[in-house]
Amino acid sequence: MCSLTGPTRLFVSLLILASSCGVVFAQKSSSAPEPEFGPVMTAYLGYLNNEQEVVDDRASRREISAAYYRRNSNRISALRQMATRLVLQSENDYVPELEAVVLSEMGTLFERPPRPGSLRPKDVVANKLRFLGQVNTGEVFYVFARLDPYEQAELIEREAKAKSTADLSSPNGQRIGQSRARRTASK
């Protein structure tokens, strides 16, 4: 084996050092950036990615129609947009259980579907879902957040109190137990 002279050995050492630094720098720049979201949102986005992979796989095996594929891909995109909006606005790593439906699917969530024009963000519908807004991803999706059991119980209790207060009134609005002045007929 040949021995390297001093300057050659220095040059080869510098070349090896520079190339290893270049590899480290390239790996650092190509890796994914620091996560923008916390673990809950990251897990939810992973769930949505998995759902999209399932839909893509079923479409590739021709198990579903093109319309079904398009609607479910659009639904996944709508859920992703709404979840991202919620987390960024609240600055809280929490994603409620979300439901996204088109107008024709409202009956799957409600016995008596609400009119979309009457829905306002943060409205609670049927004591079980909160309307979050519309997302247009090729189709208009109405996105709802399922209320947790504690919120549902509080709403039901509040409605029961309001109903019991209303029941204390007679049909003409006069409180039970109160009398009103008699009318005297003129003769």
Residue 104's pLDDT band (cuts 50, 70, 90): very high
Comparing CA positions, the residue from 96, 112, 87 lying closest to residue 144 is 96
End-to-end CA distance of the chain: 139
Least confident of 4-8, 86-90, 174-178, 182-186: 174-178
List Cβ<8 Å contacts ≥24 apart for 78-81: 78/135, 78/137, 78/141, 78/143, 79/48, 79/143, 80/45, 80/48, 81/135, 81/137
Residue 82 and residue 186: Cα distance in Å, rounded?
69
Comparing CA positions, the residue from 58, 68, 78 lying closest to residue 139 is 78
Is residue 88 a contact partner of residue 106, using CB atoms and an 8 Å limit?
no
The sign one gets for the Cα dihedral 114, 132, 45, 29 is: positive
The pLDDT, as a whole number, for residue 29 is: 46
The pLDDT, as a whole number, for residue 159 is: 84
Q: At what angle do helices 39-60 and 66-90 cross, to 10 degrees?
A: 170
What's the token pair of residue 144?
A: 């709802």
Q: For the chain, give the percent of residues with pLDDT over 70.
A: 70
pLDDT in tens, 127-183: 889 999 999 999 999 999 999 888 888 888 888 888 877 766 555 555 555 555 556
pLDDT in tens, 7-16: 676 665 655 6
